A and B are shown apart, each in its own frame.
Chain A
Amino acid sequence: MAHVHEHEVDENAGAEQRKAIWRTFWILLILTAVEFLIAFTLEAGALKTAIFVGMTIVKAFYIVGEFMHLKHEVKSLIWAILIPCIFVVWLLIALMREGGSIFDLR
């Protein structure tokens, strides 16, 4: 009796989760499709790159937040994962500047 009851409760909780999973899937799919559209319609340039980077970060947010469940973890875990990524931003800025200066010297 107790087991049956437990199963019932779990089933309902799971249904909501599954809905969230499929919603995330559609968001990712539509974002990728729009990226494709932009790839062939927009002229190459800073704006195009900025749009792509922005959309990639949105996609990353959904994958990490929903699929990897980080959005629903405790705050300290979220920050423990996100704060170290500041170093990546630093590396990106430093090396892009470096690449530009190599271009100037070539």
Chain B
Amino acid sequence: MAATAQPNVKNVWLGGVEPMKASYGKLMMWFFLVSDTFTFSALLVSYGLVRYSYPAYAGKVVDFVSSPTYWPIPEKVFDALPFLHGLHAPLVFVGIMTFILIFSSVTMVLAVEAGHRNDRATVEKYMLWTLLGGATFLGCQAWEWTHFIHGTEGGTVIKELVDGSWVSKTIFGANLTENQYGPPAFADFFFFITGFHGTHVFSGVVLNFLVFYRTATGTYERRGHYEMVEKVGLYWHFVDLVWVFVFTFFYLV
């Protein structure tokens, strides 16, 4: 921002004037994020469609048992914590994950702010914190997926139609075709939505590392501005934004 001098006002084309007072790179990042918004919206809205096509659980929350015939209550599915086996802690872990991601968004925006002042050491510091937050989030997600796939000790007994007769069968955990927590579609959406978001977090961590590396080696200092921090920052905040929606529509509602 500081280095966007306009030496020749007459040169309107070829980058002489920035449309919407944003640099080419920032504008393109914004338009990419709009297209990404549509991708995530399509995933979340189809989750809504499938959810409303299934009956909701009608009984009391305390009496809830998993069944493939109705949609599960998220707080009854996501209630485990690492190292604390058997403890019923509804949504606590996902709450911690949300906090980590919001906090890494804060350190990212602090890095952007330090970049405006060309304060290299502070940009480095906050990029490291952001990297730590992103990596921790990915680790948490890996644990949550592992738990979701392996399932609970008791499992869920389902009835299946095999060769014209009903047979009972206990299933543990979830994959793309079977799901102990509810209808198989619930697990499918869990894997697709959190997986697609997790992929975004992963690429965000890679980009953040590149920005940290180029800050630490002085590339941006030589360039005279830290606009790349800002552009990657936009992407990182978007990842946080998507998580806010995933958190609401997958875990809360």
Contact = CB atoms under 8 A, between A and B. Distances in A.
Interface of A: 7, 10-11, 14, 17-18, 21-22, 24-25, 28-29, 32, 35-36, 39-40, 44, 48-49, 52-53, 55-56, 59-60, 63-64, 66-68, 73-74, 76-77, 80-81, 84-85, 87-88, 91-92, 95-96, 98-100, 102-103, 106
A74 B21 contact: yes
A40 B62 CA distance: 12
B244 A77 contact: no
A84 B106 contact: no
Contacts of B34: 81, 84-85
Contact of B21 (A36, A59, A77, A96): A77
A84 B31 CA distance: 10
Interface of B: 20-22, 27, 30, 33-34, 37-38, 41-42, 45-46, 48-56, 61, 73, 75, 90-91, 95, 98-99, 102-103, 105-106, 108-110, 113-114, 116-117, 233-234, 237-238, 240-241, 244-245, 248, 252-253
A32 B102 contact: yes
- List the 3 closest A-B pairs by CB distance, nearest first: A99-B52, A102-B53, A99-B49
25 contacts: A7-B117, A11-B117, A17-B116, A18-B113, A25-B106, A28-B102, A32-B98, A48-B253, A55-B248, A60-B241, A63-B105, A63-B241, A66-B109, A67-B105, A67-B106, A67-B109, A68-B241, A73-B20, A77-B30, A80-B20, A92-B48, A96-B49, A99-B48, A99-B51, A103-B52
